[in-house]
Structure 1
Amino acid sequence: MNATVRCAWAGADPLMQHYHDTEWGVPVRDARMLWETLMLEGFQAGLSWEIILRKREAFREAFAGFDPQAVAAFGAQDIERLMGNAGIVRARAKIEATIRGAQIYLEMQARGEDFADYCWSFTKGQPLPGTGHATQTALSALISKDMKRRGFKFVGPTIVHAWMQAVGMVNDHAPACFRHQQVTAAPKGT
């Protein structure tokens, strides 16, 4: 019997394997979902993705389903509520960055900029082939710089690259991974 070959980071944990097999690397075209994933990647800074994945539903509940309109309106009381929520990562700077990130998302929208179009503009709308081992690239550094210019926080080149991998802007499944060819062959969208 042949064992399924996955990217090494998926390990033996069923939750991580399921995430790897069904979500990671699949191109995301939904603006809100792209933003949610970027915010969660920011919470991961200094931690493991497994921690964030295990807390993802608690994050969604705490941050109003990552509805940018609702999160942008969070104030001091909401920050204190979130700081007391053991279900999420209680880092004030990351919580404040998420609120500011929602405000930036809405500011872009008000200017007629769609967040999905913005994100995918860096790859001309198409997923890029990855190396399977990079932690950051010249492109993730460029996107990081632009996001920081817009006011986003916790968007360094390494975080941005991890986000690009997660949302399928780059196919970084290892060449031997069973998902590599599936993701490569999937319809690319616009």
Structure 2
Amino acid sequence: MAQDKRALRQHYLRLREAVTTDQRKAWNRALARHLTDFLTELAGRAAAPPTVAGYVAHRGEPDVAEALSAVAQKGWTVVYPKTNKAERTLTFFKANPSDTKAFEPGPFGILEPVAAEDAAVPGEEIDIVIVPGVAFSRDGVRLGYGGGYFDRWFADVNTHAVRVGVAWNLLLADDLPSAAHDVRVHDVVTEAGVVRCRPSR
């Protein structure tokens, strides 16, 4: 299965890298609209403004900054992951999505929040997690980058957060290999709309 995942990861990364700049901008705008609407729909079920975990796009990933800025303006709390490479863990911290000075490169070159360790937001306080990935299947399987950071965080943290994957439509597969420890997403948002996956775990 590891070889299958490695080959699929390379395949989908090549597809992502081949997307033109103009096409990427158009898809980002469309995805931001769908994601903002979907997050707003999810928030309608909450008694208070939710806390949503996002990410800063890296290496051609779908850019969710516009959607995160939109919900921050509604009074939501937005948090981002910091990576501990030695321990292979994630910890989430508040950051203003519109403030570029609030971020700095992490160990993998991905922008992460500038924050003191004692300011971490507990996982049980996070209501929605926007999960990056290389590709997703229509039944919620996520093909990640191979580090297992998000799977480990979901397994270790007491959270009932809604898991929302984001991907271009061309990175949405009918089927992807999945191991027992892989945590599936509940929904995937693309530039074409929302795919409801609703996994059992």
TM category, shorter = under 0.3
Structure with greater contact order relative to length (CA < 8 Å, sep ≥ 6): 1
Larger radius of gyration: 1
Q: Which protein is richer in strand relative to its size?
A: 2
Structure number with higher helix proportion: 1
Q: TM-score scaled to structure 1, two decimals?
A: 0.28
